[in-house]
A and B are shown apart, each in its own frame.
Chain A
Amino acid sequence: MDALVAQLQMQYRNYTVSLYQQGFLDDQFTELKKLQDDASPDFVAEVLSLFFEDCVKLIGNMARALDQTGTVDFSQVGASVHQLKGSSSSVGAKRVKGLCVTFKEYCEANNYEGCVRCLQQVDIEYKALQTKLQDMFNLEKQIIQAGGKVPQVDIN
């Protein structure tokens, strides 16, 4: 039992560290984890869930705004990008946030192709993060089910 827990914990540590190293997550995600405790054990999962719902909504807005036959209202696209940039920043979704910075510049330049590319990338990126985090949360569950505690992962 202990050997299994130890193995799962090591897997979890390595996986978490890799998410930071590959740029999926940044320090803000660490801050989120600090806010989680035994009284609120699902806080991180809950915030991320809200974030992913936000992604669906905002990306939908952007797609509709870019889909206008005729003149595209780039400020409308930009408004949704700004919101996505904000929420990705708040949860530590580093790659999504980085894409939003580029996306915002294309909106300000009224660059249609640039915007469409960014939209596609942002869609891919948030889904990739969602999958990665799901794997991470699953590892946490496995550790707990095996009778262990989820370790604090020191990134630095």
Chain B
Amino acid sequence: MADVMRPEKLDMSNDTSSLGSPELLHVLAVDDSIVDRKFIERLLRVSSCKVTVVDSATRALQYLGLDGNHSSVGFEDLKINLIMTDYSMPGMTGYELMKKIKESSAFREIPVVIMSSENILPRIDRCLEEGAEDFLLKPVKLADVKRLRDSLLKADEMAFKNIMHKRELQANDIYSQLKRAKI
């Protein structure tokens, strides 16, 4: 009986939350402005996030392996917890980038935040309707990032707790069965 109750047998290794190291959210930031890239990178570092910054939507897709030049091999281990993108970028906009991300099975669950210097209501609505986690007006504030981070960590913590609770119920269930079978 004791043998079966060892945690390893219950497959706790399946990590469906990104709570490997809770403090280090990995954020992919996309912006064509060099000043804004420097700024957002610092904002995120100060907020204890791991940051990858790229200068275009195309580069972001390359980074994620969604540019059609790769198979999905090698990108499953890429742990991104949040994507923050500027809206107005030459070539592909942040909105179009988000649509591509939402179309991919690998990355559609990753929250996407859109940043813009322009407070255009129809634009904001469209982004939120398309599934944006949030829409931030530039310049982005430290408080905005902290708020995002806290809400993501909370969501992760909730998901993690739910998983642990389920596992506990499973473990109790098995225990009861074994007890009844008098093993």
Q: Which residues of A contact B (CB under 8 A)?
A: 28, 31-32, 34-35, 37, 40, 43, 46-47, 50-51, 53-54, 82-83, 85-87, 89-91
Smallest distance from the beta carbon of A41 to chain B beta carbons, Å? 13
Q: Are A50 and B38 in contact (CB under 8 A)?
A: yes
Q: Is the interface of A mostly helix, strand, loop or mixed?
A: helix
Q: Are A54 and B35 in contact (CB under 8 A)?
A: yes
| Whole-angstrom CA separation of A54 from B117 in the bound complex | 17
Which single residue of chain A is at the shortest CB-CB distance from B88? A82
Which single residue of chain B is at the shortest CB-CB distance from A37? B46
| Whole-angstrom CA separation of A40 from B41 in the bound complex | 12
Further 10 A-B residue pairs, CB within 8 A, beyond A31-B142, A47-B35: A32-B39, A35-B39, A35-B42, A50-B38, A51-B35, A54-B33, A54-B35, A86-B35, A86-B36, A89-B117
Question: Could you give 27 example pairs across A and B, Cβ below 8 Å?
Answer: A28-B139, A31-B142, A32-B39, A34-B142, A35-B39, A35-B42, A35-B46, A35-B142, A43-B42, A47-B39, A50-B35, A51-B35, A53-B34, A54-B35, A82-B88, A85-B117, A86-B35, A86-B117, A87-B33, A89-B138, A90-B33, A90-B35, A90-B39, A90-B138, A90-B139, A91-B35, A91-B39
Q: Is the interface of B mostly helix, strand, loop or mixed?
A: helix
Question: Residue-by-residue, is B17-37 near A (CB-CB < 8 Å gives 1, otherwise 0)?
Answer: 000000000000000011110
If A31-B141, A35-B142, A89-B138 touch, does A40 touch B42 (CB 8 Å cutoff)?
yes
B residues less than 8 Å from A85 (CB atoms): 117
| Whole-angstrom CA separation of A91 from B35 in the bound complex | 8
Which single residue of chain B is at the shortest CB-CB distance from A82? B88
Q: Are A83 and B139 in contact (CB under 8 A)?
A: no
Number of interface residues of B (CB under 8 A): 15
Smallest distance from the beta carbon of A93 to chain B beta carbons, Å? 10
Question: Does B43 interact with chain A (Cβ within 8 Å)?
Answer: yes
| Whole-angstrom CA separation of A50 from B35 in the bound complex | 6
Which single residue of chain A is at the shortest CB-CB distance from B39? A90
| Whole-angstrom CA separation of A34 from B35 in the bound complex | 17
Which single residue of chain B is at the shortest CB-CB distance from A43? B42
Smallest distance from the beta carbon of B91 to chain A beta carbons, Å? 13
If A40-B42, A50-B38 touch, does A86 touch B33 (CB 8 Å cutoff)?
yes
Chain B residues 99-149 with CB under 8 Å of chain A are 117, 138-139, 141-142
Most buried by B among A37, A40, A53, A90: A90
Smallest distance from the beta carbon of A95 to chain B beta carbons, Å? 16
